[in-house]
Amino acid sequence: MRYLVAIALLFSFVLSKGQDGYFVTFTDKNNSAYSIDKPGEFLSQRAIQRRARQQINITADDLPVNANYVDSLRKAGIDVRHTSKWFNAAIVFSANSNLMDTLDRVSFIASVERNKPQYSTRAVEKTEPLSSLLKSAASNAYGEAWTQISTVNGHLLHQQGYTGQGMHIAVIDAGFYHVNTLPVFQHLWDNDQILGTKDFVNPSADIFASHYHGMSVLSIIGGKDNDDYTGTAPDASFWLLRSEDAYSEHPIEPDYWICAAEFADSAGVDIITTSLGYSQFDPPSVSYTYADMNGTNTRISRASDMASERGMLIITSAGNEGNDSWHYIAAPGDAKQCLTIGAIRADSTKAGFSSFGPSYDGRTKPEVSALGVSVAVQNSAGTISKGNGTSYSTPVVSGLAACLWQALPDKSANEIRQLIIDSANQSDHPDDGIGYGIPDFKRAVQVSVPGTESDENIWKVSPNPFSNILRLSNASEHNINVSIVDLVGNLKYRKSFKGVKQVSINEIAHFARGIYIITIENKHFKQHVKVIKSH
């Protein structure tokens, strides 16, 4: 009751017709009805299991906001749309500017920030153009999607049976026009792969009657249409979350994104894919600057890292401002733990529009790049079209990241992220255009899955048993690190070799008789061989 009285003293104004949006932060979570000892009351079992698997603790930041504070706002006539656990805050609307200007005088209110004015200054819809596509003869089940998948060797993951089954992906975007009726998504409904939807922009709207952008993104990952089209993870399951208002650009939209990411966390999602980025707003006075792209200045980028810290893999588009005055990545692509995706052409060169790194504090961004020019996507007319943008290169990687994680279920989100980076073609010499380069999902899975080594990587080790010398041979030149340990894990030998096909190890004559494990590895490959010292 004391909360209501405190606000009621301020609430003596006549409401106007329009409503502004605000981000209201609370001072504490005192007297919470929830406890970290009973996480099942505010997190799904799948979310709890994801954290346990990666040895991630549940903290007070995961507790819902104080319900008494929220009720007090509502009783004062304030429209509370969403709450944020991680920031201990609420997104609210009010037409009473006098009330909102003095709300921070209330004891449990830490700050009040306006994030959306009553009226938008932008009257045009934000879109990415799609070009028409004449259907061509396809030689495989991928149809027109073949190029975007094969350029990163995603089809080789699929051939091993890794198509995303069992993985949960949240697509946070602008809308999902006709996902409920288009044939390319029918298998998702037939197999219960659509886990649910939530519209954070307009909860009462029909998410399947809104913007097409999220629908196109979803098609790149989950689409499937006989022999005409196959997505990067057609057997994954999906949450469809709308955080973007395609008809305006205000700071409330990244705040909606935060709420969507928190929802995804609570639902137990494995991967968040987001083909959104924020730098300039209506009006320009609240826009970000390049100096803000340091991973900590913007709330959405901090939230992205909070999501990563809870065991989800966050995959984000770099942006399409490479040829514009902004030039650089946009938030949350500057987040420290997300995987930011640039765009390349089919010839593996950088797409001119793809936003540049680095982050303002000098980190390599984007981390990797995939096809972002003439990407085959589902369009709102019901056919497959070609589209450009990092919005489309991002889901190429997101779906295959799900397949990779399916193949390596014991890995953490951060380990999957690092495997993708290490597999890229310029992982030893990244640049500010395409980052560490083009990922190779064949290489990424070979590092950790026994029995998937290709002939070009397998090293022959002889003689076995050995006495005084071991010889390693390969058909191609490689940079490799070689180590030998005994059965209790004691390191007996280690040496690096550059550009070699054959290696002779003759510093082993003194080894005691017994069994040893040789490890031959580089950034893209790891092979273990058991050998026996005979005498």
Name the residue with higher pLDDT: 116 or 397. Answer: 397
Contact at 8 Å (CB) between 361 and 283? no
The per-residue pLDDT for 130 is 57
Q: Which range is most confident: 259-268, 451-460, 487-496? A: 259-268
Name the residue with higher pLDDT: 485 or 90. Answer: 90
In this prediction the pTM is 0.83
User: Which of 52-66, 137-151, 384-398 has the lowest average pLDDT?
Assistant: 137-151
The per-residue pLDDT for 127 is 43
Tokens at 13, concatenated: 């104004």
pLDDT in tens, 13-47: 333 347 999 999 999 999 899 999 999 999 999 99
The per-residue pLDDT for 446 is 79
In angstroms, the CA 286 to CA 175 distance is: 25
Name the residue with higher pLDDT: 135 or 124. Answer: 135
User: What Cα–Cα distance (Å) separates residue 42 from each residue in 33, 58, 60?
Assistant: 11, 11, 12
Is the pLDDT reported for residue 478 higher than 90? no
Longest distance between any two alpha carbons in the chain, whole Å:
95
CATH architecture of 2-29+65-116: 2-Layer Sandwich (3.30)
Residue range(s) occupied by CATH 3.30.70.80 in the chain: 2-29+65-116
The per-residue pLDDT for 2 is 36
The per-residue pLDDT for 169 is 98
pLDDT in tens, 167-218: 999 999 999 999 999 999 999 999 999 999 999 999 999 999 999 999 999 9
The per-residue pLDDT for 124 is 38
Q: Name the nearest CA neighbour of 246 among 177, 179, 175.
A: 175
pLDDT in tens, 431-474: 999 999 999 999 898 766 554 555 566 889 999 999 889 999 98
pLDDT-derived band at 248, boundaries 50, 70, 90: confident
Q: In terms of DSSP bridges, do strands 514-522 and 470-486 run parallel, antiparallel, or are they unpaired? A: antiparallel
SS3 of 463, please?
Answer: coil
Residue range(s) occupied by CATH 3.40.50.200 in the chain: 140-446
Cα dihedral 507, 512, 517, 518, rounded to 10, equals 10
Residue range(s) occupied by CATH 2.60.40.3080 in the chain: 460-533
Burial level of 150, CB count in 10 A (0-12/13-18/19+)?
A: middle
In angstroms, the CA 415 to CA 404 distance is: 11
pLDDT-derived band at 119, boundaries 50, 70, 90: low
DSSP labels for 341-362?
EEEE-TTSPBPTTSPB---TTS
Is the pLDDT reported for residue 496 higher than 80? yes
Q: Write down the mean pLDDT value for the chain.
A: 89
Contact at 8 Å (CB) between 357 and 366? yes
Q: Give residue 445's Cα distance to chain centre.
A: 18
Q: Name the nearest CA neighbour of 440 among 451, 427, 459.
A: 427
In angstroms, the CA 487 to CA 465 distance is: 16
Record: fold of 140-446 = Rossmann fold (3.40.50)
Tokens at 373, concatenated: 């020019």
Is the pLDDT reported for residue 530 higher than 90? no
Is the pLDDT reported for residue 314 higher than 90? yes
Peptide bond connecting 395 to the previous residue in cis, omega within 30 degrees of 0: no
Q: Name the nearest CA neighbour of 90 among 338, 203, 256.
A: 256
The per-residue pLDDT for 7 is 39
In angstroms, the CA 156 to CA 472 distance is: 27
Contact at 8 Å (CB) between 149 and 142? yes
In angstroms, the CA 37 to CA 58 distance is: 9
What is the CATH code for 460-533? 2.60.40.3080
Q: Which residues contact 134 (CB under 8 A, 6 or more apart)?
A: none
In angstroms, the CA 452 to CA 454 distance is: 6
pLDDT-derived band at 131, boundaries 50, 70, 90: low
Percent of all residues in the chain with a pLDDT value above 70, rounded to a whole number: 90
Q: What is the mean pLDDT of residues 262-268?
A: 98
DSSP labels for 29-42?
-TT-S--TT-GGGT
**Edge-first strand listing for the sheet containing 313-317:** 194-199, 237-242, 168-173, 271-274, 313-317, 339-344, 368-371
